[in-house]
Amino acid sequence: MFSLPQQSVAAPGSDIQAPSHSSTLPSDVIYVDEDAATLEFLLRLVCGQAIPKLDSYDVVEPLLYAAEKYDMPGPLSIVRALITTPSFVADPLRLYTLCCRYGWYEEAQTASTLTLTMNLHVPSHRATLLKLSSVSLLNLYELHHSRKDNLRTRLNETPFVNDATEASCSNCGAIVMYHTWRELKYVIITEMDVRPMGDTILEKGLDDWPAAKACWEAKCQKCDRVLYDKRETLKAIKQCMDKLPNKIELVDASEERRSLSPRK
């Protein structure tokens, strides 16, 4: 920014040009792409003045772009220190995109966890997702998908009833058709597709869903015993969900750069 040639005039009796401070000459104008507010914030950060209020993406995104453009690591590090404050985590997908853009992978992991409350397939998220590199986008989709897929697998393993095998009542030994459990599993997996965090399943769904109520009320037709222990089943489901992956894997910097490079 400040390396542009300065206007100058010749000193008396000399061929050497010296900077001109004459009021009769027009002032030098340095043309930049940034608006006044962005430049003011940027210069305040590099000059050790009071830090401006950095509490929105509309403020920090142009600031980060300018800091990168002019090779100013100081402002970048200051914004990074503030990026996980409430003002920014309120929009986790935008936070994830920003952190991936600048290589802040620990913060990107935190943001990826926060995105688990979101459905990435909602059309309104498309514009933000398009800003991600292929590596960052695939990592995020893999995290969301793996939680659903891993839970589906676990719900068909011990101590749960497996759909592929015939089951019997633990009290009288009669053959039992566990259709209510199959229906509940379907609802659980469907909810994980919409909200991979799974909090709505544990906090409300397993109590209020019609499929859940039908499952807890199901009884053996021969001995009239309740088929499912609700308390133990809820405990087992929670244990499964606690073991699910909850953040993206750290991205190798070289791999990220390759994904951002134009194809030949």
The model carries a pTM of 0.81
- Asked whether residue 115 is assigned to any structural domain, the reply reads no
- 141-199 pLDDT, tens digit each: 999 999 999 999 999 998 998 876 777 888 888 888 888 999 999 999 999 999 999 99
- Asked whether residue 105 is assigned to any structural domain, the reply reads no
Q: Three-state secondary structure along the chain? A: CCCCCCCEEECCCCCCEEECCCCCCCCCCCCCCCCHHHHHHHHHHHHCCCCCCCCCHHHHHHHHHHHHHCCCHHHHHHHHHHCCCHHHHCCHHHHHHHHHHCCCHHHHHHHHHHHHHCCCCCHHHHHHHCCCCHHHHHHHHHHHHHHHHHHHHHCCCCCCCCCCCCEECCCCCCEECCHHHHHHHHHHHHHHHHCCCCHHHHHHHHHHCHHHHHHHHCECCCCCCECCCHHHHHHHHHHHHHCCCCCCCCCCHHHHHHHHCCCC
Q: Which domain holds residue 185?
A: 146-242
- Asked whether residue 193 is assigned to any structural domain, the reply reads yes
Percent with pLDDT over 70 in the chain: 83
Number of domains composing the chain:
1
- Asked whether residue 122 is assigned to any structural domain, the reply reads no
